[in-house]
Structure formats: C-alpha cells, structure tokens
C-alpha cells in the first residue's frame, strides 16, 4: 500500500498498520489526518543502528526549503520572510504544533515549547516528548553524506523492481540486481563515472 494515500490513512485509523518509518513531520501529518482516531496509540523511536558499538547516526531524506527566485519582485523581503519563518519562535512553534513541520534551525530545536505534551503532535503520541527524539536525530546527521544526483530516478526505479518482487515476477536477487543495473546505467548515461559492487 502506498503511503500518503486515503487508503494508507484509513488503514492507520483502523489499527491495520502497526508501525511506519516517518520523517519528523510524520506525527504531525498523522495527527492532522487522523484527528482522534488512534491518538495516543503511537510512539516515536530513533532509527535502529547497524551496530550498538557505533555512535548514534541519523539522516535526511528529502526536506523542504524556502527559495527566493531571481524572478521575485521583492527578493529582499522574501528572504527576510524566509529567515523569520524559520528562526523566530512564534512561526517555528506554530508550524510544529499545527502541521508537524520540524524546525530547520539549531536554535529552533532548543525551544522548550516543542515539548508541550498537551499539543500535537506530542499529544497525538500520548504526550511523548517526540521533539527530543527528533532533536537528538537532527544532531546525529552525517553532514558529509550526499545523495546521488540521480536519486529521484533511483527511488522511482526501486519501486518498479520491488513491485516485480512482490508480484512474484522477480526474486530478491533479480529485483536488487535489476535496480542496481538500471541505476548504474542512468548514472553513466548522465555522464557520471559509476560502478557497482
């Protein structure tokens, strides 16, 4: 079942999904979409690590930005608005409580208002201090990691090969090898020097 669909949210609200790997904004989307259905039944946890002997690591997948294009009639005002939106306490807290948008700035992570257990998305998660889980994860992101320039292609192509696996028309090895081969070809066709493992 695809996420971000009516079927997905219906299944969440009907207790048909036990867990879901989500970004920091996931609980806010759940709270807004499900209202009181399954409220209090969800908890947030850090991603599992490969080895307990290594330091905790997290990562970003996707993200959001406020861009000011050169076509803007008021680039200075638009830039100042973007800075205000992402660094001032009132909009940062409002975005978290009303939509689940997690602060992009380190100063935003420090606000105790993120931890209000009586307001969503923490309230939806049974009052858990989910902002602390995400703050810890944000501080553990490997900033040296970069996505491949053809990541969008790789992501879409993965879905194609996994669909083949789930339908029974490919084995696990065939699906993963096919995904790798398609991604390598796409990278090479785009002018990159790539190799598989």
Torsion of CA 99, 80, 146, 102, to 10 degrees: -20
Q: Which residues are CB-contacts of 23 (< 8 A; sequence separation ≥ 6)?
A: 61, 62, 102
pLDDT of residue 168: 96
Q: What is the pLDDT along the chain (197 residues), one digit of tens a residue?
A: 777 788 998 999 999 999 988 888 889 989 988 888 889 999 999 988 888 888 888 887 766 678 899 899 999 999 999 989 888 889 989 999 988 888 877 777 878 888 888 999 999 999 999 999 998 998 888 888 777 888 889 988 998 999 999 999 999 999 999 999 999 999 999 999 988 77
Rounded CA separation 102/77 (Å): 23
Say if pTM beats, i.e. exceeds, 0.85: no
At 149 the pLDDT is: 85
How far apart (Å, rounded) are the C-alpha atoms in residues 56 and 176?
Answer: 27
Domain boundaries along the sequence of the chain:
1-146, 151-189
């Amino acid at each position: 079942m695809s996420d971000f669909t009516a079927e997905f949210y219906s299944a969440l609200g009907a207790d048909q999904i036990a867990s879901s790997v989500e970004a920091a904004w996931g609980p806010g989307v759940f709270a807004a979409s499900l209202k009181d259905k399954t409220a209090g039944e969800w908890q947030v946890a850090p991603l599992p690590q490969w080895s307990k002997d290594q330091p905790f690591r997290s990562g970003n997948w996707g993200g959001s930005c406020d861009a000011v294009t050169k076509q803007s009639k008021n680039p200075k005002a638009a830039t100042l608005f973007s800075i205000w939106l992402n660094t001032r306490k009132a909009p940062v807290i409002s975005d978290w409580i009303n939509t689940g948008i997690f602060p992009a700035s380190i100063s935003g992570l420090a606000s105790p208002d993120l931890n209000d257990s009586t307001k969503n998305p923490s309230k939806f998660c049974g009052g858990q201090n989910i902002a602390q889980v995400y703050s810890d994860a944000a501080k553990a992101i490997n900033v040296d990691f970069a996505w491949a320039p053809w990541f969008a292609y790789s992501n879409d192509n993965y879905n194609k090969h996994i669909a083949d696996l789930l339908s029974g028309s490919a084995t696990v090895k065939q699906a993963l090898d096919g995904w790798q081969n398609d991604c390598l070809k796409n990278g090479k066709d785009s002018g990159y020097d790539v190799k598989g493992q």
